[in-house]
């Protein structure tokens, strides 16, 4: 596990360290501005908590650098299952106040302490799992037939389904979009035929266009209520009851 790697110093990508550090500083500044504006008395505890998480993240990153990559590759299924298990916790341990304010149950809260957002860990586990699946599928057999691309796409969707279900239960649409973007990126770099990708892309563009039309058409012409699954076209009622 250890010792087969290059030294940690040799594996550091300094081209990433600077922009990541810059983003961390921007994040701290953004939190300071947001909290000081609405909850000035909580600035120090919130900033302190964020700094602690940054230090934990740095420590975790250095620990990962000490492990053999093959060892991490072997642990990928465990990380994926652990990520799913963690994403269940916010459905049980959540802040009623935060839920009332945002409508989402995506943060683990114990008592008055908000701990962390499991979907952040799941993003890493999901990327590793998708990469491992891609390599496994391509090594298993040489993709020479159209149906092989469909099989790989189906496996991608099967791996993504539990994550999307949990995000739907958490009502975290924003994070779901991030996972969709990750899925789209994996599909593009996996070598799946464009004869499959283009029709799917056109279908989603058409779907987005229809949804935009539905929501942008004036209420006098169409009323669309999400949740109640009620769609009433007033022109139809006018024909049925002209008086």
Place 41 in a pLDDT band, splitting at 50, 70 and 90.
Answer: confident
Q: Is the model's pLDDT at 3 over the cut of 50?
A: no
In angstroms and rounded to an integer, the radius of gyration of the C-alpha atoms of the chain is 23
Residues 60-85 have a mean pLDDT of: 86
pLDDT of residue 77: 93
Q: Is the model's pLDDT at 172 over the cut of 80?
A: yes
pLDDT of residue 79: 93
Q: Where are the domains of the chain?
A: 1-67, 68-192
Residues 92-103 have a mean pLDDT of: 84
3-state secondary structure of 45: helix
Cα separations (Å) of 204 from 159, 198, 199, 201, 224? 20, 10, 9, 5, 20
Please tell me the chain's helix, strand, coil percentages from 3-state DSSP, rounded to the nearest 5.
Answer: 75, 5, 20
3-state secondary structure of 226: coil
Burial call 203-238: b when 16+ CB within 10 Å, e when fewer: eeeeeeeeeeeeeeeeeeebeeeeeeeeeeeeeeee
Tens-digit pLDDT profile for residues 221-243: 444 444 444 444 444 445 455 55
Residues 166-172 have a mean pLDDT of: 90
% of the chain beyond a pLDDT of 90? 18
Tens-digit pLDDT profile for residues 132-149: 999 888 887 665 677 888
Task: Please state, rounded to an integer, the average pLDDT across all residues of the chain.
Answer: 79
pTM: 0.69
Q: Is the model's pLDDT at 109 over the cut of 80?
A: yes
């Amino acid at each position: 596990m250890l010792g087969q790697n290059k030294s940690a110093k040799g594996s550091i990508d300094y081209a990433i360290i600077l922009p990541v550090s810059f983003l961390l500083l921007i994040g701290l500044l953004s939190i300071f501005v947001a909290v000081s504006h609405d909850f000035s008395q909580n600035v120090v505890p919130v900033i302190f908590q964020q700094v602690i998480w940054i230090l934990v993240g740095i420590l975790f990153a250095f620990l990962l650098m000490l492990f053999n990559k093959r060892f991490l590759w072997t642990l990928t299924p465990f990380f994926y299952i652990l990520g799913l298990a963690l994403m269940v916790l916010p459905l049980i341990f959540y802040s009623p106040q935060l839920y009332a304010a945002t409508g989402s149950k995506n943060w683990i809260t114990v008592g008055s302490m908000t701990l962390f957002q499991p979907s952040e860990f799941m993003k890493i586990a999901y990327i590793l799992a998708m990469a491992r699946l891609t390599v496994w599928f391509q090594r298993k057999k040489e993709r020479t037939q159209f149906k092989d691309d469909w099989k790989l796409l189906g496996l991608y969707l099967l791996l993504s389904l539990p994550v999307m279900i949990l995000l739907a239960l958490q009502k975290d649409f924003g994070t779901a979009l991030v996972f969709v973007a990750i899925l789209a990126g994996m599909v593009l770099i996996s070598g799946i035929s464009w004869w499959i990708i283009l029709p799917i892309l056109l279908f989603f563009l058409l779907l987005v266009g229809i949804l935009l039309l539905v929501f942008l058409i004036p209420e006098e012409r169409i009323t669309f209520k999400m949740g109640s699954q009620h769609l009433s076209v007033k022109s139809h009622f006018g024909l049925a009851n002209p008086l």
